[in-house]
Amino acid sequence: MNIDEQCCLNYLNKIGIKEYIYEPCGNKKFPDFIVNNDTIVEATRLTRVLENGKKVNNIPVQDKLEKITAEIGNKQLGYSWFIFLTFSNSCTRSIGKLGKKIRKELDDFASKKDNSEYYLIDVSKDLQIELYLSSEVFDKTFIVGGMDNIEGDTGWSGEVCSNSLQYSINDKTEKLEKFINDKKIDHTNKNYWLVLIDFIHALQYDRINEISVEKKYWNKIIVLNPADISNSYQW
């Protein structure tokens, strides 16, 4: 089960759903869950899409951090932290050198067995790492969450939020359409939920009600803050 699916399952458990089948149609096939025998649930993380429609892929600093957190793995501390990055463009050119320092800082933090709700690491003048204690425990000690380029696209943007949501909805709707059209599956009285995980830290939850989305076939679209799944919104 990947981190998106874990976040989704934690949310389902939190709202009282205990009965589920994971990957009912097979490994890595749509959907991720069937709950209570009547609700199809698919989980995916939001993809950041800018005002100009350009999709933003991982940048070198994020890729490096993903690799480091995978290497650290699970320290069996009984808790997990989400990592949020603040960086400037110049740090992406020196990320190779910074990698060793990042690894040491995270290893040192884990060795303290500190369960502080918040911890700040100044890796360099161009890169800052914030750690937020997760309300849930995952299979890795550190989970890469959001990022903020202080020289680039920052702050609340309704258009970026709307673009990111609709892109992710459209992407999964294609798979849902194929699933619905499969005559071998009984779709009588079925509900369809899409759970979007906001690892890109693009949404401002006290303003998300300003955004409208096209739900298409989905009965519910739920967006989750992975650092605090109680902080969610649904259409």
List pLDDT tens digits, range 115-157. Answer: 888 999 988 888 888 998 887 888 889 988 777 766 655 444 5
List pLDDT tens digits, range 170-190. Answer: 999 999 999 999 888 888 889
Give me the pLDDT at residue 142, please. Answer: 92
pTM (2 d.p.): 0.74
Domain positions in the chain are 3-50+157-234, 60-149
* Residue 225 buriedness (CB in 10 A; 0-12 / 13-18 / 19+): buried
List pLDDT tens digits, range 68-99. Answer: 998 999 887 888 998 888 877 777 667 777 78
User: Which CATH number, 3.40.1440, 1.10.10, 3.40.1350, 2.60.40, labels domain 3-50+157-234?
Assistant: 3.40.1350
CA-based nearest residue to 220, from 231, 234, 230: 234
Distance CA(55)–CA(68), nearest Å, equals: 24
